């Protein structure tokens, strides 16, 4: 999305939302029943983010999102949004997700600009119900790899298959990317990179890595290991990372699910070997998209406080989500420095 388009979208009619008929077919109902019964909260978070994309349809074009989110998460988020509207809330539920999605879309498009070289592959770690390979024209020359746990990727394929069988119009189920490969892997383990290679990922090729809604579910050593593996690639090829980081207070929102945090990802990533790092906060000019209509919204209040401050004037924690672009290539790579003594991650 261009700077020009990063302006006011049309006001949505939230009450008009109707669940699509496809969700009520036996096949789709059964698949979502399995998700409800067998998946843990971490896996189900993939459906929650899809629900956000489905309901923020006035700004995100993701026609497969309702199918992948399922009735439960769609209804639950829709109820919250309706309450926010009734209460004239200064932020509408799901806005963080909407901004994050649009931010990743726009940074991905920038990273794939021909001036950065041709033949770039894109790897999504913790891809969940992401459908960028189906919806973004900028991926048409790219091999895309979605990495997630086997149950999640298998379920996603089954839901997409059920949609194919339901309708004769397969327009929305067409992959736009040059190729899409799903790679079953646990990124907490040691073999995910090998599994990617076996699936066709080429370490020497320019690569954009998307880590959206995933790092904070890992422990500190696990997240650092993943980031180091990616940063190391700067030594051999042009490498771009698009990722969101929670600060420490944000992890208290769910003590059981959130672990890794970094208050200073813009210091951490150069220490791992990235040469260019840009950090944005929700509400910044490149992370606004005209979606924060109330000037006194929470994100503007947070942005007005120094990042080192962890508590708001009213005593509540300053929960921040940082959106970070980092890149590096062999002729730019900095020697990693040991900042462990003076940087708290
Ligand atoms: C919050 S969802 C985000 C999904 C997607 N990136 C998005 O933004 O819609 C987190 C995803 O990470 C996946 N995930 C969590 N831990 C993982 C691990 N150790 N290895 C691979 N995937 C994992 C989950 O299965 C889930 O699909």
Decide: 46 in ligand 1 pocket, CB within 6 A. yes
How far is residue 291's CA from residue 200's CA, in Å, rounded to a whole number? 38
- How far CA 54 is from CA of 66, 132, 325, 332, in Å, comes to 5, 13, 25, 40
Task: Look at residue 180 in the predicted model and tell me its pLDDT.
Answer: 98
* Tokens matching residue 55: 């309901």
Q: What is the pLDDT of residues 16-62, one digit of tens each?
A: 789 999 999 999 999 999 999 999 999 999 999 999 999 999 999 99
Q: Are residues 73 and 178 in the same domain?
A: no
Decide: 62 in ligand 1 pocket, CB within 6 A. no
> In total, how many domains does the chain have?
2
Residues 6 or more apart whose Cβ sits within 8 Å of residue 119: 141, 205, 206
Q: Are residues 154 and 132 in the same domain?
A: yes
Average of per-residue pLDDT across 217-241: 97
Which ligand 1 atom is at minimum distance from the Cα of 188?
Answer: 19
Query: Is the pLDDT confidence value at 114 over 90?
Result: no
Domain boundary among 35, 61, 86: 86
Measured by CA distance, the residue closest to atom 27 of ligand 1 is 128
Highest mean pLDDT (candidates 78-92, 175-189, 286-300, 308-322): 175-189
Q: Are residues 30 and 151 in the same domain?
A: no
> Within a domain: residue 258?
yes
> Within a domain: residue 125?
yes
Decide: 186 in ligand 1 pocket, CB within 6 A. yes
- Against a cut of 0.85, is the pTM above it? yes
Average of per-residue pLDDT across 116-143: 94
Q: Are residues 44 and 104 in the same domain?
A: no
> Within a domain: residue 341?
no
Decide: 130 in ligand 1 pocket, CB within 6 A. yes
Domain boundary among 86, 106, 124: 86
Burial grade of 140 (CB within 10 A; 0-12, 13-18, 19 or more): exposed
Q: Are residues 165 and 262 in the same domain?
A: yes
> Within a domain: residue 174?
yes
Burial grade of 81 (CB within 10 A; 0-12, 13-18, 19 or more): buried
* The Cα angle at residue 220 between residues 214 and 226, in degrees rounded to 5: 55
Q: Are residues 58 and 137 in the same domain?
A: no
Average of per-residue pLDDT across 172-198: 96
Q: How far is the CA of 8 from the centre of ligand 1 (A)?
A: 31
DSSP string of 82-147, one letter each residue: HHHHHTT-SS-TTHHHHHHHHHHHHHHHHHTSGGG-S--EEEEET-TT--HHHH-GGGTT-EEEEE
Residue 339 — pLDDT band, cuts 50, 70, 90? Answer: very low
Q: Are residues 147 and 218 in the same domain?
A: yes
Percent of the chain with pLDDT over 90: 79
> Within a domain: residue 70?
yes
Phi and psi dihedrals of 178, rounded to 5?
Answer: -60, -40
Query: Is the pLDDT confidence value at 336 over 90?
Result: no
> Within a domain: residue 138?
yes
Q: How far is the CA of 68 from the centre of ligand 1 (A)?
A: 14
Decide: 188 in ligand 1 pocket, CB within 6 A. yes
Measured by CA distance, the residue closest to atom 2 of ligand 1 is 46
> Which residues span the domain enclosing 74?
14-86
Task: Look at residue 4 in the predicted model and tell me its pLDDT.
Answer: 41
Average of per-residue pLDDT across 186-207: 97
> Within a domain: residue 113?
yes
Domain boundary among 86, 116, 145: 86
Q: Are residues 280 and 160 in the same domain?
A: yes
Q: Are residues 271 and 152 in the same domain?
A: yes
Q: Are residues 67 and 136 in the same domain?
A: no
Residue 27 parent element (H or E) = helix 26-38
> Within a domain: residue 251?
yes
CATH number (domain holding residue 315):
3.40.50.150
Decide: 209 in ligand 1 pocket, CB within 6 A. no
Q: Are residues 185 and 65 in the same domain?
A: no
Residues 6 or more apart whose Cβ sits within 8 Å of residue 222: 187, 188, 260
Query: Is the pLDDT confidence value at 97 over 50?
Result: yes
Q: What is the pLDDT of residues 281-316, one digit of tens each?
A: 999 999 999 998 888 888 988 999 999 999 988 888
Query: Is the pLDDT confidence value at 338 over 70?
Result: no
Q: Are residues 140 and 222 in the same domain?
A: yes
Decide: 213 in ligand 1 pocket, CB within 6 A. yes
């Amino acid at each position: 999305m261009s700077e020009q388009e990063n302006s006011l979208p049309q006001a949505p009619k939230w009450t008009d939302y109707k669940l699509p008929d496809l969700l009520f077919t036996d096949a789709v109902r059964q698949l979502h029943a399995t998700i409800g019964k067998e998946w843990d909260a971490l896996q189900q978070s993939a459906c929650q983010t899809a629900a956000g994309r489905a309901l923020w349809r006035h700004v995100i074009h993701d026609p497969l999102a309702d199918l992948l989110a399922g009735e439960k998460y769609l209804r639950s988020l829709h109820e919250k949004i309706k309450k926010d509207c009734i209460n004239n809330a200064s932020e509408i539920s799901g806005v963080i997700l909407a901004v994050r999605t649009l931010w990743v879309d726009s940074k991905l498009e920038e990273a794939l600009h021909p001036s950065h070289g041709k033949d770039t592959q894109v790897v999504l770690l913790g891809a969940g119900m992401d459908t960028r390979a189906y919806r973004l024209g900028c991926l048409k020359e790219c091999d895309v790899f979605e990495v997630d746990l086997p149950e999640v990727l298998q379920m996603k394929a089954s839901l997409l298959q059920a949609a194919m069988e339901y309708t004769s119009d397969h327009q929305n189920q067409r992959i736009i990317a040059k190729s899409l490969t799903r790679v079953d892997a646990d990124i907490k383990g040691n073999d995910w990179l090998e599994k990617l290679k076996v699936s066709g990922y080429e370490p020497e090729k320019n690569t954009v890595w998307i880590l959206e809604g995933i790092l904070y579910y890992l422990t500190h050593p696990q997240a650092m290991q993943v980031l180091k593996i990616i940063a190391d690639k700067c030594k051999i090829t042009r490498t771009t990372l698009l990722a969101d980081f929670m600060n420490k207070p944000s992890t208290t929102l769910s003590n059981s699910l959130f672990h890794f945090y970094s208050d200073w990802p813009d210091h951490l990533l150069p220490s791992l070997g990235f040469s260019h790092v840009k950090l944005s906060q929700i509400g910044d000019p490149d992370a606004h998209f005209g979606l924060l209509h109330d000037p006194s919204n929470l994100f503007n209040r947070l942005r007005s406080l120094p990042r080192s401050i962890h508590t708001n004037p009213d005593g509540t924690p300053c929960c921040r989500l940082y959106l970070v672009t980092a890149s590096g290539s062999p002729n730019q790579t900095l020697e990693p420095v040991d900042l462990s003594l003076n940087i708290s991650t």
